[in-house]
Chain A
Amino acid sequence: MMSPTGNWTVEQPIVALHGVHKSFGSLEVLKGIDIDVMKGEVVCIIGPSGSGKSTLIRTINGLTPVSKGSVKVEGIEVHDAKLDKLALRRKVGIVFQQYNLFPHRTVLQNVMMAPLLVLRENRTEVEERARALLAKVKLKDKENAYPAELSGGQQQRVAIARSLCMRPDVMLFDEVTAALDPETVKEVLVTIRDLAMDGMTCMLVTHEMGFAREISDRVYFTDAGRIVESGPPSQIFETPQDPRTQEFLSKVL
Chain B
Amino acid sequence: MTPNWTVSRLTWRAPVLAAGLCVLATLAAMAQDGSTGRPSALATLITWVPFILKGFGLNLVMSVLAMALATVSGVILGFMQISPVTLIRLPAKLVTNLFRNSPWLVILFAIMFLVPFQITLPGGDKVMVPDWLKATFGFSLPVMANVSEILRGAVASIPSGQWESAESLAFTRGQTLRHIILPQCIRRMLPPWMNWYALLTLMTPMAAILGVNEALGNTQAAMEAAGSRPEFLIPFYLFLMTIFFVVIYPISICTRRLEKRFATGS
Interface residues of A (CB under 8 A from B): 61, 63, 85-86, 89-90, 92-94, 96, 98, 100-104, 113-114, 117-119, 146, 148-149, 159, 162-163, 166
Contacts and interface: CB of A to CB of B under 8 A. Distances in A.
A117 B167 contact: no
A167 to B, nearest CB: 12
A86 B169 contact: no
CB-based closest 7 A-B pairs = A100-B165, A114-B169, A89-B170, A100-B161, A148-B266, A118-B170, A94-B168
15 contacts: A63-B164, A63-B168, A86-B170, A96-B164, A98-B161, A100-B159, A100-B164, A101-B165, A102-B180, A117-B179, A118-B171, A119-B170, A149-B1, A163-B169, A166-B169
B99 to A, nearest CB: 31
B182 to A, nearest CB: 10
Given A89-B168, A90-B170, A113 B179 contact: yes
A103 B184 contact: yes
A114 B171 contact: yes
Contacts of A148: 1, 266
Greatest chain A CB density within 10 A among B159, B167, B170 is at B170
A5 to B, nearest CB: 17
A194 B124 CA distance: 76
Given A98-B161, A104-B183, A149-B1, A93 B168 contact: yes
Interface string B173-204: 00100011001100000000000000000000
Nearest to B158: A103
Interface residues of B, number: 18
Contact of B184 (A90, A100, A104, A119): A104
Contacts, number: 57
**Mostly helix, strand, loop or mixed at chain B's interface?**
helix
A118 B161 contact: no
A85 B165 contact: no
B162 interface: yes
A43 to B, nearest CB: 19
B158 to A, nearest CB: 10
A86 B172 CA distance: 9
B184 A118 contact: no
Contact of A113 (B162, B169, B266): B169
Given A85-B170, A117-B175, A118-B170, A146 B1 contact: yes
A163 B175 CA distance: 17
Nearest to A149: B1
Contacts of B167: 63, 89
Contacts of B171: 114, 117-118
Contacts of B159: 98, 100
A162 B169 CA distance: 9
Contacts of A118: 169-171, 175
B186 to A, nearest CB: 9
A12 to B, nearest CB: 24
Nearest to A172: B168
Nearest to A116: B179
A15 to B, nearest CB: 15
Greatest chain A CB density within 10 A among B165, B168, B179, B184 is at B168
A102 B159 CA distance: 11
Contacts of B161: 96, 98, 100
Nearest to A91: B170
A119 B172 CA distance: 12
A149 B175 CA distance: 25
Contacts of A61: 168
Contacts of A104: 183-184
Nearest to B265: A148
Greatest chain B CB density within 10 A among A90, A100, A118, A166 is at A100
Nearest to A104: B183
Greatest chain A CB density within 10 A among B162, B165, B183 is at B165
Nearest to B175: A117
Contacts of B165: 94, 96, 100-102, 159
Contacts of A90: 170
A198 B266 CA distance: 36
